[in-house]
Structure 1
Amino acid sequence: MTASLTPPEHEHNALVEQAAQWLADQANPPRPIIPALRQRFNLSALEATEAAAMSDRFRICRKAFG
């Protein structure tokens, strides 16, 4: 078995990324965001926070690069 070269703090599970993509696609994001992500995607509070931050980066990249 090979060891992962990515430190755990930089790994994102697929569900967090899916939640981030979903949130980035919302014209009117749900408020409050964290409870909505937790309920919709069954995420922990930390995972929902990571997804919210990631969705902001997705939006910025979409604006910058189309």
Structure 2
Amino acid sequence: MENQAMTGTDHQHSEAVVQAAMWLADQNPAPQPIIPHIRERFGLSALEACEAAALSTKYRILRKAHG
């Protein structure tokens, strides 16, 4: 069996990470710097904030693709 990275539905995000990602996806322009801002606003660790930032990009892409 191949070692696969945990992406998409394979990886469970905490509710705080999902909420931060949804909020960030709605920001135009996004606050800068992003990671410290969402860490403070949502009480996330650095890793969780990075996950939220990456997830927000997926949300933006899906919104553009599906209207």
1:25 is aligned to 26
1:62 is aligned to 63
Q: How many residues align?
A: 59
Partner Cα distance (2:28, 2:47) in 1 = 24
Using the size of structure 2 for normalisation, the TM-score is 0.84
- Runs of 4 or more, structure 1, over 2 Å off, are none
Matching residue's letter, 2:54: A
The percentage of aligned residue pairs carrying the same residue is 61
What are the superposed Cα offsets for residues 14-63 of structure 1, whole Å, 9 maximum, x if unpaired? 00000000000001110000000100000000000000000000000000
Partner Cα distance (1:37, 1:29) in 2 = 10
Structure 2, unpaired ranges of 5+: 1-5
State the superposition RMSD in angstroms: 1.4
Structure 1, unpaired ranges of 5+: 1-6
Using the size of structure 1 for normalisation, the TM-score is 0.85
